[in-house]
Each structure stands twice: as structure tokens, then as C-alpha cells.
Structure 1
């Protein structure tokens, strides 16, 4: 009907609103729709902007339009009522409220569990809380610290790949470990009385810095970290630091946190290593200041 010039529809028992698309009929010069049941606002654009040959009388619920139509003004929507709020306004508000409620619930559960964990946290200085492994067992696990088992050399010693037997519920299994042999000539004097050989759980995905700054060959072989993995790693690190600061007895300050000291296990879970520079907060007053 793009060429329509006149349209007469009085007394047709019409309902609903005036179609917005009619504003695009540029040829329309006469529109007569009185004595119907139309409602809502009359368009203001296109042919409805300034035409005087349009008759909308006796449609009790029509409003707005050009002044020539002499229709009542449309009521302003009252946004104080939630039922009149547009969906594009309500949806973000409801989303924010829901997310805030979830975060609050997580925080409250976290605080409660934190208090419970802190109350039962073992003393890290108590040697009975750790598994004891003899030098002979570590030497056997690494084939006598053989060169083929050497997987890294650090500032204070060398690291060897090994496998320790683990008897769990009667089942004999082999657990891969990384064994660090300290160089007594280079480590601080205060550490020489601790041990010259230490065993750790093996982290097969290496250090975090290898993933953050990979070589071209590494990217081609193993890919790169996804945004989701990066987020999980950040959460893991935060959880470890919170445990060290708030749940250990005494509290521990790592003092050397960097990507090179963050290790990733087979499931890409982040673990903090290299505790050579840690500080133990033996003074309760210092711990209270931190909290």
C-alpha cells in the first residue's frame, strides 16, 4: 500500500495501537479512524508529524501525536513501580543483586570455614606432622642421584626426578617426586642444620613463568594458558597465601613470590614453592597487625 492516499476506517470496532509502519506511507494524505477502540500513543514521525487530514476522534485511549490531532498527552511511565520498569533496566539490576547475594554467601561460608580451619591448624614446626623419608630411600628413588634424573639446577642446589613407594590402604604405589639436593657451600649458615636433601611432590607442568613467557616451541607443543586457567591459577595462589598468613601456626610470609616460584601440577593447579626466604611470625603482635 505504498501508494495509498486515503484510508477511511470509522466505526470498524478497531482495537490495539496505530501501526508505526504507517508513518512510512509518504503518499497518505487522508486517514479517518474515529469511533473505534484504538489505544496507546500516535506516532510522531513520518506522515504523522504535521498532517491535518487525519481524524482520530472518539478513540478514548489514544494519546500523544502532533498537536493538530488534539489528543490528550500520554501519561509518563512511573518507574517507582517495578511492573512498569523496562526489561533492559530490570534485568541488569536483578543480575547484580543475584551476583551480590551469591558472593556474600560465599564470603560468609569462607569466613566460617577459615575460623574452623584456623582453630585446628597443625603446628608447622612440629616434625611429627610430616612424613619422614630417609636419605637411602631418596637415593634409591633417584637411582643414586644419577645425571639422567637431573631435571634442574637452582641457586642452592640441584633437583632430581624420583619415585617414592607409597603404601595407601594396603596398596603399594609409586609417587613421582622432585628431590632437591642442597649445596652446603652456597646456602645460608642457618639452613645447614636443616637437611641437605629434600623431597617434594613432582609438578609436571613446570613453573608458571614458562607459561606466561613461553618460547615459540613451547607454544607449538603445549599451547598457552586460557583466560579460565589464568583465573584458576590466581585463585589458587590467593588461597595458598591466605593459608600461609592466616591458618598456619606460626604464620608464614613467603618473601619471594614470583611466577618462577609457582609450580603447576598435572591438573594445572598452582602450588607455591621455594621457601628459602620465608619468615615465621613468631611474635603474635605482628600477626594481629597483619589481620
Structure 2
């Protein structure tokens, strides 16, 4: 099954629920109650209430409402932002436990290694039991290298040592893992801020990118997480995971609409190859059915 097919399958429930509300007859008028159902379906898909209302309001004015809905959804998505180039390229990855952060780092390491780049991972998630060992398994699968210390070690120290080694050994890509912090835990968030500062001291201009991994199925909680993390580590991009049937998909739109951050990658499975560069058009085509020509 192709990657696009897997994404389409993962978002099939949302696509069917929204698409089933549009009349199949091209000349059939969409009633106010049907429009309300469409708006409700968008909200249930985690698009967010305000965005859902705005999308429906614009689509109602069109003679081709489904196409207009698609066009305005795509316009909401943040794309085209170039990833900074540097050697070594330092990437800080954050996110709460359970989002697939460790798996995602393994996939990123695999992706960069496939591009012929020398990859080093800093295991700065030193608080969670077995977190370093779990990351080490993914790093080995990807053919990358890892810097790690004992459980409970200072995460900022791990980050500093990783960057120092990366510079000395001429690595192309350095990825710093962080503890799966809960955004309400002040002490852990302060530690994350310290890691961010130390990275900048270890290498001027670093981190070059800060990507926040969010679970595509957590809805409004993902919004709260991104809002808090962005204050601490100045997030530059998002990775949305679990769009393989567990996530409704609409949260991608809500995140882009609220934060104007680019979605860099999406995850549709557990294997190393299941990390997909985000393409707005493919995402919308997976989220909504084929365009119909209904009139209002």
C-alpha cells in the first residue's frame, strides 16, 4: 500500500463523515440544517469551532461548496517554509509522553541517514525509566550514533556533550531528544528551557530547528501543548503523529490556523519508513472526498 493510500485509509472515517453530508445530486440545494451538520462534523474532526464556522461560512457562498471547502482548508495550512541549512544541523525535538516522539526521532535519523548524512542523537530524556534504552534501539535501527549518560543525568549536560562531539567528529545532523514533559509541570518545563539555552551556548545559532511532536488524536490538548511549548523553546515546526486511524486529522488544520507553524512531517505507522513529508494537497485529498459540483 502506498504512503498516500495509508494516509487516506487513516483519515477515512473523517472523510466519509464529512463527505456523506454533501448531496450527491449536482443541483440539489444544501439546507441550513445540512450546513449545520457539516459544521458539526468539522468540529468533531478536531478542526476547532471557530475555524469550522469560518470554513462553512465561505463554502455556503459558493456554487461549488466542496471545492471551496477544500481550497480554504488548503489555504489554512502553513507550507513553503524552508528548513534552515547548517553543518552540523542541530534539531531539538520535544513533546509529551505518548505522542510517538522517540519513534519519530528514530524515523528522522533513518531519513537523514538514507540521504547519506552522518547522524548523531543526544539522549537527553534522562528522567523516564528506560527512555534512553528505547531511543538507542531506534538509533541502531537507523544506523545512527548516540550520546547517552546514566538515568537521572542532567539533560542540558547531555545536550552540550552531544553537540561538542558532533562538531569534533564532523557530523551532519545532530538531533537532541528531550524528556516527555507535561506542559503543566513547571520544573520540567524549566529544565527544557535550560536545554534550549545550553544548546545555543554549545553552538552559536543552534538549535537551527525546534520541532514539536503532537499526537493527531488528542484534539484540543494538542493545541494547549503547542501553545505552552512554543513559549519555552520557540517552536519552528510541527510533526503530527498517529494519522493511521487513531487521529481524526482535523487538528492539523486547527494547529496551522492558530499558530501559523509549518507541519514538517506526519506519521502514519510504527516502522522507520512511516514518516511522511507533509504535503497540503495530499493531506486535504485524504481528509475530504473527491470534489463534487453541488450548488448552494
TM-score when normalising by structure 1: 0.23
Q: Which is greater in Rg?
A: 1
More helix by share: 2
Q: Which has the higher contact order (CA 8 A, sep 6+)?
A: 2
TM-score when normalising by structure 2: 0.23
